[in-house]
Structure 1
């Protein structure tokens, strides 16, 4: 699938109803200045897909196909979360519903902090990785979805810091900057984040 194939269709559906993600994507897409209208699926009354995959890639494809099937347009979906190696990669694909209720950031953060307490010792840093997978499909049955992946490595703080961002941003420390993701401006975050990395790969694919 070349960029020209789906760009010529005029509309690209963003398969997300997450306000935080949509805000970041709107800024990132604005910078791309694409010759298509990028429309969040909620504006088309498309509800969230059932995410029953076992990986970020599977879930991103599921969401993209779902939005494309209902809208009849090409769709791009993001599946993302935080992986903590010492917890076997958890929360992983369950990041948004780690504490049970989907999208309850405060409870998800609290559960992660609680689960990490037994591993805190001698001020040793605990590594965490934000992962973002973008899946682009030209149509619902596209046999060759395009995949763009970004991984942002940092540390998991012992308590929240910062008021910006969403999700696990307040717990994610960039040690080289001395800032949490929630202490960064949107522009600063988008330049280096997992989502920003994936979008940069997406941008590069348009130039092929």
Structure 2
């Protein structure tokens, strides 16, 4: 069994990854990370994911998997983007971030509320080998928060093809279709190679 540390202290994200992983990669065990949190001063999702994965790999001596993700609104030029978690000025205040974004988009008509979630996954080994992949989940911004499932911006994000928000759809749909699920699917070949169940492409 190959152990891979998930470089996050966010328990919502850790649980989501565990559910997404399922039996996709036999021989791989995701373990929790309790090391230092680096300063995420990259200017892209990829840069920040690599910063976190490199720190965790160096601290634990294990291969490390990290993601950086956020919501990108078309009418705002892709913002909040990498600043999603601290959009209101306070890192991690999900409700304040959500309320601010709704206020900023209040006057936009339904046809101009396009948005997507983006997640970039970085896999870094202690020897310095690095792989990054990206997943996106298109949709639009609702006019009010709805739903009790999920976290972050899920209550105001309506995925393409649905009328419910991501927080109304529940974990089964989200973990099958979300930006993280799509990024993870793209990372499976590299993770399988790490676990010794598949040759690297």
Q: TM-score, normalised by structure 1?
A: 0.87
What SS does structure 1 have at the residue aligned with 2:111?
coil
* Aligned position for 2:78: 89
d(CA) in 1 for partners of 2:103 and 2:119? 24
Task: Give, in angstroms, the shift of residue 124 of structure 1.
Answer: 2.5
* Aligned position for 2:48: 59
* Aligned position for 2:67: 78
d(CA) in 1 for partners of 2:125 and 2:60? 12
Task: Give, in angstroms, the shift of residue 204 of structure 1.
Answer: 3.5
* Aligned position for 1:128: 115
1:197 aligns with 2:182: yes
* Equivalent pairs, count: 193
* Aligned position for 1:178: 163
Task: Give, in angstroms, the shift of residue 22 of structure 1.
Answer: 0.7
Per-residue CA distance 1:115-161 (angstroms, 9 max, x = gap): 1124x13x43411110000000112x61x411111000000011001
d(CA) in 1 for partners of 2:143 and 2:155? 10
d(CA) in 2 for partners of 1:124 and 1:177? 15
d(CA) in 1 for partners of 2:12 and 2:40? 19
Checking the alignment, whether the CA contact within 8 Å between 1:12 and 1:37 is kept in structure 2 is yes
> In structure 2, which of residues 108, 124, 132 is the aligned counterpart of residue 137 of structure 1?
124
d(CA) in 1 for partners of 2:29 and 2:175? 21
* Aligned position for 2:132: 147
Unaligned runs of 5+ residues in structure 1 are 1-6
d(CA) in 2 for partners of 1:163 and 1:202? 29
* Aligned position for 2:11: 19
- The RMSD of aligned alpha carbons is 1.6
Classify 1:87/1:188 alpha carbon distance in 2 versus 1 (closer, same or farther; 3 Å): same
Task: Give, in angstroms, the shift of residue 37 of structure 1.
Answer: 2.8
Checking the alignment, whether the CA contact within 8 Å between 1:125 and 1:156 is kept in structure 2 is no
